[in-house]
Amino acid sequence: MQINRVDTWGTVYLNGELLPARQAAISALDRGFLYGDGVFETIRVYRGTPFMLDAHMNRMLHGCSVIALDPPDTEEIKRGIVEVLTANNLTDAYLRITITRGATGMPWFDTAVRAPTTMIIARPLTAENHVQGIRLTVSGFRVDEQSPLTRVKQTGILWRILARTNARRAGFDDALLLNTVGNVSEATSANVFWVKSGHLFTPDTDCGLLPGITRSLVIQIAETKNIPVIEGSFGLNDIFQADEVFLTNSISELVPVQSLDERVFALAPGPVTMQLADGYRALTP
């Protein structure tokens, strides 16, 4: 049986080489494959320019330092990005950089690095229609706000995958994650904001969320537009009382939320969400 697999599309960058995706292969002993031992970044490309590339690279380098992984040279990665986009003839794209600890041949608890694995992939951007807003449900999975890994975009994300899968099977689009004390943290691959009485609220990083690049930009845009921004620890009741709710990530930008479980938000997207979305798009290449 012939299966059309989108994950075998195009040309990828693997450890300094451009290879057809169908032929690119990592070692069976690669620690990224065996243990999810690595970091990654997803970046949106607008008109051939990876947006906020330096910020993404800095976050990736920070993640490498947290897990004690010596990253490849950043200029090498930037060259690889250009090569992948050119090879696939892409100007508007989804871009992913993955770095693993490589195939060390050492026991699972030994993190000595011999040669990290670096892979860069780029695919055509599939536009999603979120005009009417998405539906969220509260997940049973919890974010460990005490773990340093919650602030690292690391490859071991099975629990996030399952949280999204369970939400979709239940008829929702995504899941809202709480932390271990029951406060709002984030969605499965996005940060969360809400508006109440003209004020913009979002959980702070102590709540266990990944510090999003888009999140930081939205906060800056709100401040330039004199929209008061309040970061803190919030319970579910705070978001249930919101006038508007939206998610942010680098690929989807700002995504309005139509409902959270039984709570339907009348404004999706609301005026503040639209104002911030316009401000965000004005910054893109």
The string of pLDDT tens digits covering residues 34-75 is: 999 999 999 999 999 999 999 999 999 999 999 999 888 999
- Domain end residue (candidates: 100, 124, 148): 124
Confidence of residue 1 (pLDDT cuts 50, 70, 90): very low
- Domain end residue (candidates: 97, 124, 151): 124
Query: Which of 98-102, 170-174, 267-271 has the weakest average pLDDT?
Result: 267-271
96 and 15, same structural domain? Answer: yes
pLDDT at 187 over 90: yes
63 and 150, same structural domain? Answer: no
Q: What is the pLDDT of residue 4?
A: 38
Query: Which of 21-30, 125-134, 176-185 has the weakest average pLDDT?
Result: 125-134
Q: Which of 117, 93, 112, 105 is nearest to 45 (CA)?
A: 93
**In this prediction, what percent of the chain has a pLDDT beyond 90?**
88
Q: What is the pLDDT of residue 3?
A: 32
Is residue 248 situated within a structural domain?
yes
Count CA within 13 A, CB hemisphere, residue 166. Answer: 15
Domain span including residue 245: 134-283
Is residue 129 situated within a structural domain?
no
Q: What is the pLDDT of residue 153?
A: 97
220 and 193, same structural domain? Answer: yes
Number of domains in the chain: 2
CATH number of the domain encompassing residue 66: 3.30.470.10
β-pair type (244-249, 191-196): antiparallel
Residues listed for the chain:
285
249 and 143, same structural domain? Answer: yes
115 and 151, same structural domain? Answer: no
253 and 159, same structural domain? Answer: yes
19 and 71, same structural domain? Answer: yes
Confidence of residue 6 (pLDDT cuts 50, 70, 90): low
152 and 35, same structural domain? Answer: no
pLDDT at 5 over 60: no
Q: Quickly tell me which residue has 């330039």 as its tokens.
A: 224
Q: Is 275 helix (H, G, I), strand (E, B) or coil?
A: helix
**How confident is the model over 127-153, as a mean pLDDT?**
90
The chain-wide mean pLDDT, for the chain, equals 93
**How confident is the model over 226-254, as a mean pLDDT?**
97
262 and 143, same structural domain? Answer: yes
CATH number of the domain encompassing residue 199: 3.20.10.10
Higher per-residue confidence, 6 vs 113: 113
Is residue 1 situated within a structural domain?
no
17 and 94, same structural domain? Answer: yes
The one-letter code for the residue type at 22 is R
Neighbours of 148 (CB within 10 A): 10
Beta bridge partners of residue 263, listed in sequence order: 260
- Domain end residue (candidates: 71, 101, 124): 124
pLDDT in tens, 76-128: 999 999 999 999 999 999 999 999 999 988 888 888 777 899 999 999 987 67
Is residue 204 situated within a structural domain?
yes
